[in-house]
């Protein structure tokens, strides 16, 4: 299938591409959508897929033969077998009826592929009133300096052993935020550095891995990180210090930008908004 850009472009209210996630507006093109369909035939990672850093095989793939592409709407279903499996239908269209059509398709395909989950993902523009779901935010490193913050932040491996060994219980406590998964990757040496902050010789916050890779048009992107602070250590500005340290790390190593996804009105969302990031839009995910 070849997508028609004149059909698709008017409905791209937020820069989100199935299986790839958010992309920089300057990198958004019809080629990205065609690439994800070609990748579905091989199961391989695209060269600029951010998940490629984890190795293994691509878990989420587009269901090429079930794509609906018409002037007024485009529906792109994907399948993941993780857990009990999920079909997601990415619904691109300006009319609310596109959600109902996507839900019907997701339910049908979930039954066809014998998976438990059926979801609709709808991109929404940055001007959306009272948004829900996830905000896509852009940090542009070319727009200003990102100085190193004053505060107790250094790579986990640079802390003394007595502090470093507290990372394991910290990671387990914050497993819901992805830190336990991150720790397994750190143990195998398959990811970039992780920055951590400590209070009284105990790691209480971390952000990482730190990794820069080229996007689809060759621009250097600081990849998204896992980011968490222990509940009993919040309210002291440690999250802001960690985040600024990560931004300094990226800018000082030549990154052009970073894209983040934050839960609307959540702690990370409020931090990014306070730090002046640009909102590129939202994604609202609902059950079919």
pLDDT category of residue 7 using cuts at 50, 70 and 90 = very high
Cα 92 to chain centroid distance, Å, stands at 19
In angstroms, the CA 100 to CA 93 distance is 11
Measured between alpha carbons, how far is residue 22 from residues 49, 238, 281 in Å?
11, 27, 10
How much of the chain exceeds pLDDT 70, in percent? 100
Is the pLDDT assigned to residue 38 strictly greater than 70? yes
Give the start-to-end residue ranges of the domains of the chain: 5-133, 143-255
- Mean pLDDT for the stretch of residues 63-81: 96
Residue 5 pLDDT exceeds 90:
yes
- How far does Cα 12 stand from its chain's mean position? 18
Average confidence (pLDDT) over 68-84: 96
Supply the DSSP string of 178-221, one letter for each residue: THHHHHHHHHTT-S---EEEEETTEEEEEEE---EEE-TTS-EE
Whole-number Å distance between alpha carbons of 133 and 284: 5
Mean per-residue pLDDT, 156-184:
96
Mean pLDDT of 56-71: 93
Burial letters 207-228, b for 16+ CB under 10 A, else e = bbbbbbbebbeeeebbbebbbb
Q: Which of 34-38, 190-194, 226-230, 246-250 has the lowest mean pLDDT?
A: 190-194
Share of the chain above pLDDT 90, in %: 90
pTM of the model: 0.92
- CA 62 to chain centroid: 17
Strand bridging mode 153-155 / 226-229? unpaired
Nearest CA-CA partner of 122 in 138, 139, 101, 107: 101
Question: Whole-number mean pLDDT of the chain?
Answer: 95
pLDDT, position 44: 87
Pick the CATH number of 143-255 from 3.40.50.2300, 3.40.630.30, 3.40.50.10490, 3.40.50.620: 3.40.630.30
């Amino acid at each position: 299938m070849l997508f028609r850009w004149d059909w698709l472009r008017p409905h791209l209210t937020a820069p989100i591409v199935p299986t790839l996630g958010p992309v920089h507006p300057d990198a958004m093109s019809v080629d990205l959508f065609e690439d994800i369909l070609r990748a579905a035939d091989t199961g391989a990672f695209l060269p600029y897929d951010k998940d490629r850093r984890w190795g293994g095989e691509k878990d989420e793939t587009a269901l090429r033969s079930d794509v609906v592409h018409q002037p007024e709407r485009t529906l792109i279903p994907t399948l993941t077998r993780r857990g009990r499996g999920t079909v997601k239908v990415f619904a691109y269209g300006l009319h609310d009826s596109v959600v109902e059509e996507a839900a019907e398709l997701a339910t049908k395909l979930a039954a066809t592929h014998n998976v438990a989950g059926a979801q609709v993902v709808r991109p929404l523009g940055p001007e959306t009133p009272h948004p829900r779901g996830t905000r896509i935010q852009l940090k542009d490193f070319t727009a200003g300096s990102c100085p190193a913050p004053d505060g107790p932040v250094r790579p986990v491996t640079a802390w003394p052993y007595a502090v470093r060994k507290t990372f394991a219980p910290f990671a387990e406590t914050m497993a819901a935020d992805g830190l336990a998964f991150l720790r397994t990757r750190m143990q195998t040496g398959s990811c970039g550095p992780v920055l951590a902050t400590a209070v009284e010789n105990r790691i209480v916050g971390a952000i990482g891995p730190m990794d820069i890779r080229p996007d689809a048009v060759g621009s250097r992107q600081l990849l998204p990180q896992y980011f968490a602070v222990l509940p009993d250590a919040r309210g002291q500005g440690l999250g802001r210090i960690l985040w600024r340290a990560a931004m300094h790390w990226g800018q000082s190593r030549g990154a052009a930008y970073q894209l983040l996804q934050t839960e609307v009105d959540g702690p990370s969302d409020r931090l990014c908004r306070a730090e002046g990031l640009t909102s590129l839009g939202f994604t609202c995910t609902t059950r079919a």
